[in-house]
A and B are shown apart, each in its own frame.
Chain A
Amino acid sequence: RKEVEQDPGPFNVPEGATVAFNCTYSNSASQSFFWYRQDCRKEPKLLMSVYSSGNEDGRFTAQLNRASQYISLLIRDSKLSDSATYLCVVTSGNTPLVFGKGTRLSVIA
């Protein structure tokens, strides 16, 4: 089983839609979780950390389910500018980040 697994998509959604991505991880000792965003031909950038209690940043909500070992990202009211690849990232404390392959989102006008 891969360390971090994501549905590669693509998810094609109309503007204004709500879309959710899930990510599963295999290492139960994982401690820190993140969502990164990568635009086409650009570097990955931190979108948000994922906290145990769940957290929200504007239209973005991240959730963590330790029992089932998955994290999720919910995007409400999708904008054209949300089109990108969303990378699920997991680490076990002082170990390197492990990236999923990413889920591609296309928001269509």
Chain B
Amino acid sequence: DTAVSQTPKYLVTQMGNDKSIKCEQNLGHDTMYWYKQDSKKFLKIMFSYNNKELIINETVPNRFSPKSPDKAHLNLHINSLELGDSAVYFCASSQGTGGISGNTIYFGEGSWLTVV
């Protein structure tokens, strides 16, 4: 069983569309994250949720809206997609918050979004 699974794995869509990426973790972790990795391979956090509560919201356009229906799921909805949104979006989870030694972060396989 995949520990952190996200769908879809590949998504090609036109500018202006609205799309969602879903994420589920079966590790029983309390904290989930969305990271974005752009074409320059820079991996940057977007959001973090702990027990369904938003705890980190980095400077991200408000076209991006995360939703956590329960602590095992964290979905990402993107409105009015732009060319610059093309990237790989990684969902991740950890038992606690932050990166304290012992709180290993586990990543999903990534969702490759291309906006044309």
Contact = CB atoms under 8 A, between A and B. Distances in A.
A91 B96 CA distance: 13
A44 B108 CA distance: 9
B61 interface: no
Interface in B30-54: 33, 40-45, 48
A1 to B, nearest CB: 15
A20 interface: no
Contacts of B110: 42-43
Q: How would you classify the secondary structure of chain B's contact residues: helix, strand, loop or mixed?
A: loop
A63 to B, nearest CB: 15
Given A45-B107, A96-B48, A89 B41 contact: no
Categorize the interface residue count of chain A: 20 to 34
Interface stretch (B65-73, B74-82, B97-105): B97-105
B56 interface: yes
A22 interface: no
A94 to B, nearest CB: 4
B100 A87 contact: no
Contact of B99 (A85, A97, A101, A102): A97
A85 B48 CA distance: 24
A79 B77 CA distance: 41
Nearest to B112: A41
Contacts of A42: 109-110
Contacts of A94: 96-98, 100
B96 to A, nearest CB: 8
Nearest to A94: B98
13 contacts: A42-B109, A43-B110, A44-B107, A46-B104, A46-B105, A51-B101, A85-B41, A90-B99, A92-B98, A96-B33, A97-B45, A97-B105, A99-B43
